[in-house]
Amino acid sequence: MTSRYRSSESTHSADSPSPRRRSVVKAAAATVVLAGPLAAAVPARAADEAPAFLHGVASGDPLPDGVLLWTRVTPTAQAIPGSGLGPDTPVDWVVAQDRALTNIVAKGTVTATAASDHTVKADVRGLRPATDYWFRFSAGGTDSPVARTRTAPAADAAVPGLRFGVVSCANWEAGYFSAYRHLAARGDLDAWLHLGDYIYEYGTGEYGTRDTVVRQHAPAHEIVTLADYRTRHGRYKTDADLQALHAAAPVVAIWDDHEFANDAWSGGAENHTEGAEGIWTARQAAAKQAYFEWMPVRPALAGTTYRRLRFGKLADLSLLDLRSFRSQQVAVGNGSVDDPDRTLTGRAQLDWLKAGLKASDTTWRLVGNSVMISPFAIGSLTADLLKPLAELLGLPKEGLALNTDQWDGYTDDRREILAHLRSNAIRNTVFLTGDIHMAWANDVPVDAGTYPLSPSAATEFVVTSVTSDNLDDLAKAPEGTISAVAAPVIRAANRHVHWVDTDRHGYGVLDITAERAQMDYYVLSDRTRASATSAWQRSYRTRSGTQKVERSYSPV
């Protein structure tokens, strides 16, 4: 297919120990003190300067008639993220049909206050579908950068194609966000998907960086309070490459655990000590508040990120929240992963997902999914031997999963959604997944023990991490050497896995037409270099009606 290229019109300003607690690649291993760290979160400015837009501008959650605009204004030098300081500041915004902002189609004013950490949002409506727009904020005589956004196609539009950037897992201290820069430079994205771990909660040197902190985040300690989470979000949004991508296309984002704490669940987290680190409900509420302040995301329900967007007749996108409602994770090898009283999604969200998939009249049903739904087991038996043995020994019925934080730890939810797809003949469901710091192309089998003799209910494309440690980083081995050994072993034990790369960092580009959905996988030359180059690695696609993944030999 010939590439659809739309020129980018956006502008933008241009030693640690091993992880403290859990290994970084989860599936691979069987109030505030303002000095110092907080002040480092933004560049220094003279006290008499005008308001500044130090954290860029962004847009998100595109609709056929609108889009959500975001920025953060720094009204005074003291009003840094998390400080709680600074006056109320009127912020004007304009949306235009041209980059020069001469043909203005919408404008308004919002007020930045300390109560929202001086972040502001404008939910702009009345725009035309499938159209590029440019926008800018202004405050006190200072203008923000001009940025591009794009509305979604009309709900009933026959859309020839869509193209989305796909990313996850960006650890500030482990390297630079070159993946964002390369996606921004494409200029052909309808939107980009962030599938979780936009920020990380750990203190300096406490999370995987291959024993080298490339650049220190702020605050230096583990984030726990609302001020902490605000400061960390503020640090991330000073990154020039992240600002460039936000200024190039709208984002559609969901959270995973590190926006809260490692292996978060509804009642706590692995990386949370009740009492010593406060009360979990307070920490969770602080993390959610900071997230919604700092991200151009519309909460569909109070305190969640599950919602659905539609892109004409070609695709709809169901976005999941797999942290707010889940039961606590169980130990590896524990048969209670099959317990129907345990849930990953929560009953209301699972029913919402099932109803949306069944009612959908689009060609493709995309699911933004923060943890892998495809089974991942080592040494699994065929179903005829596994099930009676599991029942006898109290083992998981779908094999010994290595990562009970993902859908493998909540098999009843997975069986229910896959049975729903099969019994209702729902085709063309594609799960888009992050979290695991590896790249995968999978069929999603109804019964992994008998696959491929039994059917596949969906397909799954998993993108690797932007910077967070993967297997070669944990082993401190040359890139590619671990994958060369591990990938054949993984595929031999998981016949639904078409490809896995355990070692590289990068991003994906999802290209969709009525005939197929294809993920192009790109890798970075060196996450520790700001000037890292990007190269196409592989492509996989699923053809309409097949529920199977196949290799494609060129990007689109």
In single-letter form, the type of residue at position 111 comes to T
The phi, psi pair for 353, rounded to 5°, reads -65, -45
Residues 130 and 192 in one domain: no
Q: Strands across the sheet with 119-124, in order? A: 119-124, 66-72, 57-63, 251-253, 191-194, 162-167, 506-512, 516-524, 534-543, 550-552
Residues 516 and 490 in one domain: yes
Cα distance between residue 91 and residue 95, in whole Å = 14
State residue 235's pLDDT score.
98
Is 17 among the domain residues? no
Cα distance between residue 212 and residue 218, in whole Å = 16
Is 41 among the domain residues? no
Residue 421 Cα distances to 209, 308, 360, angstroms: 40, 18, 12
Region for 278 from its dihedrals, namely left if φ exceeds 0, alpha if ψ lies in -120 to 50, beta otherwise: left
Residues 314 and 412 in one domain: yes
Q: Count of alpha carbons within 13 Å of 253, Cβ hemisphere only?
A: 25
Classify burial at 46, counting beta carbons within 10 Å of its beta carbon; exposed 0-12, middle 13-18, buried 19 or more.
Answer: exposed
Residues 95 and 207 in one domain: no
What is the 3-state secondary structure of 497-513?
Answer: EEEEECCCCEEEEEEEC
Residues 342 and 379 in one domain: yes
Residues 130 and 174 in one domain: no
Q: Which CATH number does the domain housing residue 60 bear? A: 2.60.40.380
State residue 346's pLDDT score.
97
Q: Which helix (H) or strand (E) holds 210?
A: none
Q: Which domain holds residue 459?
A: 153-552
Residues 105 and 126 in one domain: yes
Classify burial at 7, counting beta carbons within 10 Å of its beta carbon; exposed 0-12, middle 13-18, buried 19 or more.
Answer: exposed
Residues 123 and 163 in one domain: no
Is 11 among the domain residues? no
* pTM of this prediction exceeds 0.85: yes
Residues 97 and 196 in one domain: no
Is 395 among the domain residues? yes
How far is it between the farthest Cα atoms of the chain?
75
Is 198 among the domain residues? yes
State residue 5's pLDDT score.
32
Please identify, among 85, 117, 152, the residue that sits at the C-terminal boundary of a domain.
152
Residues 126 and 159 in one domain: no
Cα distance between residue 44 and residue 445, in whole Å = 54
Residues 124 and 217 in one domain: no
Return the structure tokens found at 126: 């009345």
Per-residue pLDDT of the chain (556 residues; tens, 9 = 90+): 433 333 333 333 333 333 333 433 443 333 333 334 444 444 555 445 789 999 999 999 999 999 999 999 999 999 999 999 999 999 999 999 999 999 999 999 999 999 999 999 999 999 999 999 999 999 999 999 999 999 999 999 999 999 999 999 999 999 999 999 999 999 999 999 999 999 999 999 999 899 899 999 999 999 999 999 999 999 999 999 999 999 999 999 999 999 999 999 999 999 999 999 999 999 999 999 999 999 999 977 878 999 999 999 999 999 999 999 999 999 876 778 889 999 999 999 999 999 999 999 999 999 999 999 999 886 654 555 445 544 544 545 565 567 899 999 999 999 999 999 999 999 999 999 999 999 999 999 999 888 999 999 999 999 999 999 998 998 899 999 999 988 988 898 899 999 999 999 999 999 999 999 999 999 999 999 999 999 999 999 999 999 999 999 999 9
User: What is the number of H-type helices and E-type strands within the chain?
Assistant: 9, 24
Is 20 among the domain residues? no
Cα distance between residue 463 and residue 482, in whole Å = 18
Please identify, among 127, 152, 177, the residue that sits at the C-terminal boundary of a domain.
152
Q: Which CATH number does the domain housing residue 406 bear? A: 3.60.21.70
Pairing mode, if any, of strands 456-462 and 497-501? unpaired
Cα distance between residue 154 and residue 312, in whole Å = 5
Into how many domains does the chain fold?
2
Residues 92 and 170 in one domain: no
Please identify, among 101, 130, 152, the residue that sits at the C-terminal boundary of a domain.
152
What is the 3-state secondary structure of 32-67?
Answer: CCCCCCCHHHCCCCCCCCCCECCCCEEEEEEECCEE
CA triple 289-256-213, angle to 5 deg: 95
Is 116 among the domain residues? yes
Is 22 among the domain residues? no
DSSP reduced 3-state for 523: strand
Question: String of b and e for 124-158 (b: at least 16 CB within 10 Å)?
Answer: beebebbebbbbbbbbeeeebbbbbbbbbbbeebe
Return the structure tokens found at 60: 């998100």
Pairing mode, if any, of strands 429-433 and 364-369? parallel
Return the structure tokens found at 447: 């019964």
Cα distance between residue 101 and residue 377, in whole Å = 54
